[in-house]
Structure 1
Amino acid sequence: MGAMPIRKSLSPLHAKCEALIWAMECMKTLRISEVVFATDCSQLVKMVSTPTEWPAFTTHMEEFLRCKEFFHPFTIQHILKAQNTLADKLARGARNQPAAMVYVDSIPPRWLLNQEST
């Protein structure tokens, strides 16, 4: 449903912000407005809670605020990295792949289900 090639970001926080915006766009395309976004990045949660306090991310925050209007209410939560083991395992595995690809959908693909069991 949502696959996108990855481009190089200015920083890891920029990449996480871009990924959140992209995930929001995917959910908008699917017309799913009741979503709880989750991240293991506490800085990202702080950023979207107080977007005007992050001047280096002005462009990203403008785009985020436009996307946020679709979600009523908008919810993002911080998950400890220790509790996010599957996503962490997938991220480490993705670094070993020859091509970078990101995937978002409401139904997990078979390869993801197989990762859960290993």
Structure 2
Amino acid sequence: VNFESDCQQLVQIVTSPKAWPALAPELDDIQLLRSSFSLFSLCFISRSLNLRADSLAKEARSRDSPFILVDVKVPQQLGFEARVLGPI
């Protein structure tokens, strides 16, 4: 599985052997998740190349309740943003 993030610091924390004691519980969870896959990668991607995911994350953060999108249809506002931003 391949994960991409526009947070360069997160990628460095997860992929670096350097100890991050304040994040130990979260890093342990990530390591457990990593071990579930035969192939696992996490890499940095510029936000400008990841606008659709960025707008989806912003939409999720703006809600007072959990936001889960598992569908082939895109919510209307995100669909509008996708048209404005152009093809993938």
- Show structure 1 runs of 5+ residues with no match: 1-34
- Answer yes or no: is the 8 Å Cα contact 1:39–1:76 preserved in 2: yes
TM (norm. structure 2) is: 0.70
Residue in 1 aligned with 2:65?
99
Gaps of 5+ in 2: none
1:60 deviates by: 0.8
Q: 1 CA distance for matches of 2:66 and 2:22?
A: 26
CA distance in 1, matches of 2:7, 2:13: 10
* Seq. identity, %: 27
Distance 1:40 1:99 in 2: 24
Asked whether 1:45 is paired with 2:8, we answer no
Distance 2:36 2:8 in 1: 23
* Larger RCO (CA under 8 A, 6+ residues apart): 1
| Structure 1 segment 1-118 matched on structure 2, within 5 A | 35-50=1-16, 52-103=18-69, 105=70, 108-112=71-75, 115=79, 116-118=82-84
Q: Distance in 1 between matches of 2:65 and 2:30?
A: 27
Which stretch of structure 1 is more off in the superposition, 59-68 or 93-102? 93-102
Q: Provide Cα deviations, 1:47-75, integer angstroms capped at 9, x if missing partner.
A: 11125521110011111111111122211
Structure 1 contact 52–58 (Cα < 8 Å) conserved: no
SS of the residue aligned with 2:39?
coil
Q: Take 1:93 and 1:82, find their aligned partners in 2: how far apart are those partners?
A: 17
Q: How large is the RMSD of aligned CA atoms in angstroms? A: 2.4
Greater Rg by CA: 2
Query: CA 1:72 to 1:85, structure 2 compared with 1: closer, same or farther past 3 Å?
Result: same
